[in-house]
Structure 1
Amino acid sequence: MELAQIVERLKKNEVVAYPTEAVFGLGCNPNSKSAVEKLLILKQRPVEKGLILVAHKLDLLLPFIDESRLKQSHWQLLTQQYDCPTTWVVPAKLSVPKFIIGQFDSVAVRLCTHPAVAQLCEQTGFALTSTSANLSGLPPCKTAQQVRSQFGEFFPVLDMTVGNAVNPSEIRDIFSRQIFRQG
């Protein structure tokens, strides 16, 4: 599908697939409970696990981050460019719904420079949820055709290529720098 069609689907609180740095992600409007519920059902993912949010600029992630708990050094980590995609687990605002953060009081966020993410966020005006596009037990999709084979020929997929990263993002705690998932 073309970019404009995917943007319209996102604005209508539908779930779409889009390329990220290493694999296709499944995404939706994180402000829509119905959209996130559709995503969790599709992915067979328990709500307790929480979701990653991605955006091309920090402004779109700030509504989810408890800024009062971060120091300048944390902001530097969050906004720095890395060799491999890096997702940071940061304190969540009390207003962030459980359908985003799951059982945690934190939220996983990533600044993503992939052109697809930048264009989708720019045109929708919101961050996107990001979980790998694959059915339970199958490997993450690296092409639009792989997404269609797993989710069906008519699933809304943005026809662009993934970035050059070898692995999905590394996930780290902003305070301890502990790695939750190796990149």
Structure 2
Amino acid sequence: MDNPRPLSDWQLHCARRTVFSGGVIAYPTEAVWGLGCDPWDQEAVERILELKQRPVEKGMILVASSVEQVRFLLDPLPDSLQAEAKRHWPGPVTCLVPDVKQQVPAWVRGQHRSIAVRVSEHPVVRALCDATGMPLVSTSCNPAGRQPARRIWQVRRYFGGQLDWIVPGALGGNRKPSRIIDIVSGQQLR
């Protein structure tokens, strides 16, 4: 991590207020800058899809600060699948978790029966999820077909005034986006 300084109370307050008011934020993650919002706010998610020029069918990732924040997805699963997901977290691994009770809206899940979930180790991501008390949408900060932003100036160049808040901080030490593992099949998809 280049700059491990924690977010100030004011920065967290502004980010939390932005998410709760239906806004879209940009924030540093383990490898690239991400775009995020409240996953249960359809208009906010649709704004991200529009900014990225991404079809809703592809689905997006939920990022959380702890297993407890995604317990609602794990509880309906057999113990073996819960254990498989938990063995990858926290860390830079995104697990495809069956959404047995369809608790995550289709505008986040896309055309899939599973939801992509990561419990992050990144201090900014964890602070944001803790401040909002929920997992957040997490998708790379870039228009479709462009390289994900790795610097704050790229975030501004891609989306400028279209974002409601840019959360300061440094990227984690990863050079590649998180691995994606299907916890049912064990297959690594990325």
Residues 72-108 of structure 1: per-residue CA shift (max 9 Å, x gap): x332332235796110001102232211111111111
Assess if the C-alpha contact under 8 Å between 2:129 and 2:135 holds in 1: yes
Q: How does 1:19-30 map to 2 (within 5 A)?
A: 19-30=28-39
Alignment map for 1:1-183 (pairs within 5 Å): 2-63=11-72, 65=73, 67-71=75-79, 73-81=80-88, 85-92=92-99, 93-152=101-160, 155=163, 156-181=165-190
Distance 2:182 2:93 in 1: 10
List runs of 5+ in structure 1 lacking aligned partners.
none
For 2:106 and 2:146, locate their aligned partners in 1 and report how far apart those are by CA, in whole Å: 27
RMSD, matched Cα: 2.0
- Among the aligned pairs, what percent are the same residue? 41
Provide the rounded CA distance (Å) in 2 between the counterparts of 1:69 and 1:58.
14
Code of the aligned partner of 1:117: V
Give yes or no for contact 1:56–1:117 (8 Å, CA) kept in 2: yes
Q: By how many angstroms is 1:69 displaced? A: 2.6
Identify the range of structure 1 (145-154 vs 77-86) with the bigger mean alpha-carbon deviation: 77-86
Aligned-partner Cα distance in 1 for 2:88–2:123: 15
Structure 1: distance between partners of 2:133 and 2:119: 15
What's the TM-score once normalised by structure 1's chain length? 0.90
Q: Render the CA deviation track for 1:161-181: whole Å, top value 9, x for unaligned.
A: 010011001111001111111
- Amino acid of the structure 2 residue aligned with 1:30: P
Post-superposition Cα deviations, 1:108-156, rounded to whole Å, max 9, x if no partner, equal 1011010111111111111111110011221111122210111115732
Q: Which stretches in structure 2 are left out of the alignment for 5+ residues?
A: 1-9
Structure 1 residues 90 and 144: alpha-carbon distance in aligned structure 2, compared to 1, 3 A threshold: same
SS at structure 1 position matched to 2:189: strand
> Does the 8 Å CA contact 1:29/1:35 hold for their aligned counterparts?
yes
Do the aligned partners of 2:89 and 2:119 also contact (CA within 8 Å) in 1? no
TM-score under structure 2 normalisation? 0.86
